[in-house]
Amino acid sequence: MQSSARGLVYSIKVRSLLPDGSHALLTCTSACTEVQWLAPDRLPPRSQECKETPGNGDVALTTECKFEDVGAFGFSRTKDKITIYHRKGKTVFTVAGAW
């Protein structure tokens, strides 16, 4: 999450393992909804770490959080768009590459 003189910018990056075994780096930069666990995957992530970086220039503050092993989710894919279905609805990501 980033705050700037122009307002709040919220983005999500996900390193995902797809059912075919491929690794995809997913990004969402508009209309992003934080991915929330579906039952029965309500266990907390294996690890969670957040850090804040003081801003400079146009950026006032950056907060970055990393979570590991957040569970399995239903999804659908159309070309470079992946929709992940979760407890709060769905979030559309763009495949930005592999990891």
pLDDT at 88: 77
How would you write the pLDDT of the chain (99 residues) with one tens digit per residue? 444 445 566 788 888 888 889 999 999 887 777 776 655 555 666 777 888 888 777 767 778 888 777 778 889 999 999 998 887 788 899 999 998
pLDDT on residue 64: 82
Produce one character per residue of 81-93: b if its CB has 16 or more CB atoms within 10 Å, e if not: ebebebeeeebbb
* pLDDT in the model for residue 7: 59
Identity of residue 93: F
Please say whether the beta carbons of 40 and 33 come within 8 A: no
Rounded Cα distance, 95 and 74, in Å: 16
